[in-house]
Each structure stands twice: as structure tokens, then as C-alpha cells.
């Protein structure tokens, strides 16, 4: 039996790997940030700012992971494409991943072909990871926020 659309299988497997890597990266980053906050002897302001920047850098790394994945599939494997402009480079793929990850969805760029599965899954993944970060930040600030008397 032959698979009628092998590129779909490639997209599903590649997307699944990217999602697993992003979730693992997120977990490990939040765990490390939490440990650093607990162990740090730095002033409160520095610890909270380090947490915020750490969370932001984690999201940026995840956006790059998905942008590189989309670029690899579209530009190097020819599995789908981005449309909206005449030519796309790596940073266009990163931009589209950021817009999709954050669920902003400007609409100036859109995916066509099997690669749409990656970007549909990316929107859900980004929403979950951003929500996870917001919950983490709230809990950490609640634990470490000092009330002035």
C-alpha cells in the first residue's frame, strides 16, 4: 500500500516533533527560571525582571523553532508555501510563526498546502504556552512579591 500524500505524513511528523520540542523547552526553561528565583540572593526587582526576560526569551526561542521548521518544509522540502508577497526569506517565516504563535493573525501572509497543518497547530501550541507562562508568572510573583508596609 502506498501513501497517497507522503508530504502530509512528513508535515504531521515534523509538526509533532516541533510541538514536543517546544513543550519540553518551555517546561525546562520555566523550571530553571523558578529555581533561579528561589536560589537567588539578588534584589527582588532583579529576580522578577530576570523571570520576565527569561519567559520572553523562551517564547522567542519557540517562535524561531517553528519558523525554522516552516522554512525547512516550505523552502527546502517544497511542502506548501507562504503567500502574500513575491519572495520569502527565513525572517519572513519567523515573522509568520510569531504572528501565528501569538494568534495575532494579521492576514498579510498565509500558508498554502500541507504546511497549513504546522501553522494551525502552532496557533494552538502558542496559545497554550503563553497561557502557561502567564500562570507561571502569576504564581511566582504571588510567592515572591513583597508587600510594602
Kindly report, residue by residue over 25-49, the tens digit of the pLDDT: 999 999 999 999 889 888 888 888 9
**Backbone angles phi and psi of 37, in degrees to 5:** -65, -45
- 113 vs 44, which has greater pLDDT? 113
Whether 35 maps to a domain, the answer reads yes
Whether 47 maps to a domain, the answer reads yes
| Count of the separate structural domains present in the chain | 1
- 85 vs 18, which has greater pLDDT? 18
Domain hosting 103: range is 6-144
The whole-model pTM stands at 0.91
The whole-number pLDDT of residue 1 equals: 59
Residues 97 and 103: their CA atoms lie apart, in Å, by 10
Domain at 62, CATH number: 1.10.287.70
The whole-number pLDDT of residue 50 equals: 92
The whole-number pLDDT of residue 2 equals: 67
Whether 149 maps to a domain, the answer reads no
Amino acid at each position: 500500500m502506498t501513501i497517497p500524500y507522503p508530504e502530509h505524513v512528513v508535515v504531521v511528523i515534523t509538526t509533532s516533533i516541533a510541538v514536543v520540542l517546544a513543550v519540553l523547552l518551555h517546561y525546562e526553561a520555566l523550571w530553571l527560571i523558578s529555581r533561579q528565583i528561589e536560589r537567588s540572593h539578588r534584589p527582588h526587582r532583579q529576580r522578577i525582571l530576570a523571570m520576565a526576560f527569561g519567559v520572553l526569551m523562551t517564547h522567542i526561542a519557540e517562535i524561531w523553532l517553528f519558523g525554522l521548521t516552516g522554512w525547512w518544509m516550505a523552502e527546502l522540502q517544497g511542502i506548501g508555501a507562504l503567500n502574500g508577497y513575491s519572495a520569502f526569506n527565513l525572517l519572513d517565516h519567523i515573522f509568520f510563526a510569531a504572528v501565528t504563535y501569538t494568534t495575532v493573525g494579521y492576514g498579510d501572509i498565509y500558508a498554502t498546502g500541507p504546511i497549513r497543518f504546522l501553522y494551525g497547530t502552532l496557533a494552538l501550541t502558542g496559545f497554550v504556552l503563553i497561557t502557561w507562562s502567564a500562570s507561571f508568572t502569576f504564581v511566582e510573583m504571588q510567592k515572591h512579591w513583597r508587600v510594602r508596609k
